[in-house]
Structure 1
Amino acid sequence: MSMLTPPGMGGKKFRVTGRRYPRMRRRRHRGRIVLALVASVTVLGLLGYGTVQLVDVFSSGGEGGGAPRTQAGARAANERDCTTPTRDGGQEPPRLPAPRSITVNVYNATQRTGLAQETADALEERGFTIGDVDNAPEDLDGRVEAPGLLLGSAAAREAGALSVLGAQLEGAQTRERGNGEDPGPEVVDLVIGEDFSGLAAAREAERRLAALAGADASPGTC
């Protein structure tokens, strides 16, 4: 029996005729995968570009894409605006002497021991030059009811030394020295009185000095 004769065909012989044979079609799955990948990459690229544009618009604060202004930069700009000295009637603000150029004599007119030295040390930490530290003279001992009494010459008042020292003490009284007592415009006496409870806070003293110089240093008043 021939190998071309299928079993059960009774030994009949068959012959393959014809010149055409079935051909296998090529699979196109690979091409479809490549197209899908290209399309996916394109879509992701467009989405990423759109996201970058949105972030740039919101971060620029709607100012036409300009560089965003950081919080630190805004604070720095506000501080410069707040500390700019103002002018009154076209006149320049008064130039106050620096604390280091002012010599302060500290006298204690109370019965509290060590108060003069303690106050002198605090003023020295704030930049003042300290002269004498002692009990108050007899004519002032126990006779100053206010927190303090500032004594200086007319030149010290005009130079601003009394004002600079007065900014350090709330409620202090000011008096010019008598005739013949003029140690110079840079020397001021601080006589501690009965109502003394300490110097003003350093921040408050700085605010007062800024106000004296014509600058409004209080927060939120720009």
Structure 2
Amino acid sequence: MGGKYRVTGDQYPRMRRPKKRGRIVAAVIASVVVLGLFGYGALQLFDVFKGDDGDTKANAAPQNRPCTPTTTAPALKPMALPQPAGVTVNVYNATTRGGLAKTTADAFASRGFKVKAFGNASPPYDKKVTQSALIVAGPAAEAAAREAGTQVAGSMVKIDPTRKDKNVDVMIGNAFTALASPADAAKARVVAANPPPPKAVCATGAPATTPAKAPAKP
């Protein structure tokens, strides 16, 4: 090359990007990456404390969902119970254990109940009573059935609307071991005479909750 500007020597000058500018660009990129990671971590931490797992609606607590309260059993009315001497029972063995009807009938008799008959349970109940005892009676003997049921912890009373007599059938079940102690029978008698209302539950099986009242306006 001629003229005013002329390159001399046997090497050409190298064209390089200024070092200072390259460092600034690298620092900016690193800052952006760090800020992005920090923001992502903060978002994850917020979700942990919030309890949001990405499926909030599906995992909402059942007790917080609105439901229509239902009851598992009809309410029983308070009822004056007769004394054991005014209750006539038939004791039937619905288990595979032999001699249970006779010994249980004697135990009822020793507590003042009138025992009319004892023996094996009929086919509708034989080997089909899982609880300690099933007390079966007609509507006219409901109070007597409740009285007999106080003597067997874990028993259940069944009212047969087709029955017209006032006798009470005690179907001994698989869970039966012995009659309740006199003290426990006395406590059960109080509950049987004044049964608590059945607990309301939701259709999902969770207990029904009473909705909170709105605060009164000033």
2:177 to 197, 201, 210: 197
Name the amino acid aligned to 2:153.
Answer: E
2:152 to 149, 152, 169: 169
Please name the residue that 1:127 is paired with. 112
Query: In the TM superposition, what are the counterparts of 1:95-134 in structure 2 within 5 Å?
Result: 95-134=80-119
Tell me if structure 1 keeps the 8 A contact 2:140–2:165: no
Tell me if structure 1 keeps the 8 A contact 2:92–2:120: yes
Find the residue that maps to 2:135 and give its secondary structure: strand
**What displacement does 1:183 show?**
1.4
Greater than 3 Å deviation, 4+ residue runs: 210-214
Question: Which structure is larger by alpha-carbon Rg, 1 or 2?
Answer: 1
Please name the residue that 2:203 is paired with. none
- 1: distance between equivalents of 2:121 and 2:109? 19
CA deviation map 1:166-214 (0-9, x unaligned): 11111112211252x2212xx1000001111111111111222245556
Name the amino acid aligned to 1:150.
Answer: I
**What displacement does 1:94 show?**
4.5
Seen in structure 2, the aligned counterparts of structure 1 residues 144 and 212 have a Cα distance that, compared at 3 Å, is closer
Tell me if structure 1 keeps the 8 A contact 2:135–2:171: yes
**What displacement does 1:95 show?**
3.0
Name the Cα RMSD after superposition.
1.7
2:188 to 196, 201, 208: 208
Query: In the TM superposition, what are the counterparts of 1:73-112 in structure 2 within 5 Å?
Result: 94-112=79-97
Seen in structure 2, the aligned counterparts of structure 1 residues 178 and 201 have a Cα distance that, compared at 3 Å, is same
Please name the residue that 1:152 is paired with. 137
**What displacement does 1:142 show?**
0.6
Seen in structure 2, the aligned counterparts of structure 1 residues 211 and 150 have a Cα distance that, compared at 3 Å, is closer
Seen in structure 2, the aligned counterparts of structure 1 residues 141 and 213 have a Cα distance that, compared at 3 Å, is closer
Higher relative contact order, structure no. (Cα contacts within 8 Å, ≥ 6 residues apart): 2
Name the amino acid aligned to 1:204.
Answer: D
Name the amino acid aligned to 1:138.
Answer: P
Tell me if structure 1 keeps the 8 A contact 2:141–2:165: no
Name the amino acid aligned to 1:189.
Answer: D
- 1: distance between equivalents of 2:158 and 2:191? 22
Seen in structure 2, the aligned counterparts of structure 1 residues 145 and 153 have a Cα distance that, compared at 3 Å, is same
Name the amino acid aligned to 1:183.
Answer: D
How many pairs does the alignment contain? 117
Name the amino acid aligned to 1:190.
Answer: V
CA deviation map 1:91-125 (0-9, x unaligned): xx843211111100000011111101100111111
Find the residue that maps to 1:208 and give its secondary structure: helix
Identity of aligned residues (%): 37
- 2: distance between equivalents of 1:165 and 1:136? 17
Name the amino acid aligned to 2:164.
Answer: D
- 2: distance between equivalents of 1:190 and 1:164? 11
- 1: distance between equivalents of 2:116 and 2:129? 21
- 2: distance between equivalents of 1:213 and 1:178? 20
Unaligned 5+ runs, structure 1: 1-92, 215-222
Unaligned 5+ runs, structure 2: 1-77, 195-218
Name the amino acid aligned to 2:131.
Answer: A
Find the residue that maps to 1:209 and give its secondary structure: helix
